[in-house]
Amino acid sequence: MKNRLIKKTGDEVSPLGFGAMRLPLKKGKIDRKLATKQVYHAIDNGVNFIDTAYLYGDSEKFLGEILQDKYKDKVKICTKLPSIIVRKYEDMGRILDEQLERLQRDSIDYYLIHSVDFKTMNRLLKRDLIKFLNESKKSGKIKHVGFSYHGSKEEFELLLDVYDWDVVMVQYNYFDEYIQASSEGIEYAALKGMGVFVMEPLKGGILADKMPEDAEEIFRKENPNKTNANWALEWVLNNRNVTCVFSGMNSIEQIDENIAIANEVTPLSMSFNDLETVELVKRVMNNKLKINCSTCGYCMPCPREVNIPECMKIYNEKYLFNHEGLVNPSVINYYQYVGGILNKASNAGRCNGCGKCLRKCPQKLDIISELSKVKKEFEFPGFSIILPFAKFIGIPLYNLFLKITNH
């Protein structure tokens, strides 16, 4: 991979970074053996930048434990101050010290204010955020600073001018080209010499997994050898203003595929035909995707134990793949994965409208309203009565039918 330069800091970073938010799990905890193998494999093949955060469970602690000896100096670490739990000035220093201890480092390479919009930044500025950043840089606890953005595109450039930031992290993919920071905002950041880091290049997997058949056909017609993930990553890396794309990679195969793409793509290397192909697919997806949820999970945990991302994912899949009929794959998935058949019930109908999820959502979704749509779609009258029947009779019969018809 040909590294890309962050003008403000002089660092050269790999165009593909390792996103450590969704590390592989085993019994609810990080699968240390598998995750270590994956992180080392990425580093050994040219990835020199890893993104984590205080709110990513045990991610920081895990990385601190495995990035020792020869691996310690091979990578830059980017982590984040959790803006949502900062109540007073002293919280910022306390959290930073805890992160340094978790990561087993004397200094953090890139320190970002997590999940910022105009309102959040205003609140932090009143708590002397600038003083904290300046003192932390002066003491050497952090080297470079920035923020991850989750606001409107109208406010983005205003926040870029609040402080002498080194970098910024934005959500950016071909589906979300004109929301949040947008292409124009990214260009403004680059003109200031800032590094631009990208999260959600695959929109939580929506742009990498199976897509509607008409979208898949457009991609196949243009190039049958490219995967959906290939198209999505290539589109982001093609932007000359993008410095590094952070991707959560859960298998060696995914890592190798993404590294191969990053090795191949250089800024402005996509042809006009390729760009037009992506635009056509975007139109198909725009017509079918009902809820603009990236399944990031920032809205969790829910006090009522609703699995918000999974509810919205299943709802979207119903329309993406035209699942019709009283019993269809989406209904089956809903009953199995959130209805309580395979796991504890976490269905949309459990929502009581408390609103605690609303301020956490980076997409600014009206989650209460969206869950109401999900409930209306899947939870038929008598849902609580139907569920035991479905669990012990309906689902086994449906699975048996599929098994017979597939032979």
Domain boundaries of the chain, sorted by first residue: 4-287, 308-405
pLDDT value for 395 = 61
- Which contacts (CB < 8 Å, 24+ apart) does range 396-401 have? 398/327, 398/332
Angle at 9 between CA 160 and CA 60, to 5 degrees: 85
Tens of each residue's pLDDT in the chain, 407 residues = 899 999 999 999 999 999 999 899 998 899 999 999 999 999 999 999 999 999 999 999 999 999 999 999 999 999 999 998 999 999 999 999 999 999 999 999 999 999 899 999 999 999 999 999 999 999 999 999 999 998 888 899 999 999 999 999 999 999 888 888 999 999 999 999 999 999 989 988 888 888 889 999 999 999 999 999 999 999 999 999 999 999 988 899 999 999 999 999 999 999 999 999 999 999 998 888 889 888 888 899 999 999 998 999 898 888 888 888 877 888 888 887 888 777 788 999 999 999 999 988 888 899 999 999 999 998 887 777 677 766 666 666 666 666 676 65
Closest alpha carbon to 199 in 275, 115, 283: 115
pLDDT value for 211 = 86
> Whole-angstrom Cα distance, residue 123 to residue 305?
29
> Whole-angstrom Cα distance, residue 248 to residue 204?
9
Angle at 181 between CA 176 and CA 182, to 5 degrees: 50
> Whole-angstrom Cα distance, residue 205 to residue 248?
9
pLDDT value for 368 = 96
Residue 164, token pair as written in the block: 């002498």
Task: Please give the model's pTM, rounded to 2 decimal places.
Answer: 0.83
Give 352's contacts (C-beta < 8 A, 6+ positions apart): 304
Q: Is the dihedral of CA 294, 296, 302, 307 positive or negative?
A: positive
Q: What is the pLDDT of residues 235-272, one digit of tens each?
A: 999 999 999 999 988 899 999 999 999 999 999 999 99
Closest alpha carbon to 83 in 50, 51, 54, 52: 54
* 223 phi, psi to nearest 5 deg: -160, 100
Q: Is the dihedral of CA 104, 106, 107, 112 positive or negative?
A: positive
Domain 4-287 falls in which CATH fold?
A: TIM Barrel (3.20.20)
Q: At what angle do helices 213-222 and 228-237 cross, to 10 degrees?
A: 70
Q: What is the pLDDT of residues 167-193, one digit of tens each?
A: 999 999 998 888 889 999 999 999 999
> Whole-angstrom Cα distance, residue 3 to residue 15?
6
SS3 50: strand
Q: Is 247 exposed, middle or buried (0-12, 13-18, 19+ CB in 10 A)?
A: buried
SS3 string, 231-243, reads HHHHHHHCCCCCC
Residue 258, token pair as written in the block: 């993404």
The label of the residue with tokens 């040909």 reads 2
Give 301's contacts (C-beta < 8 A, 6+ positions apart): none
pLDDT value for 286 = 85
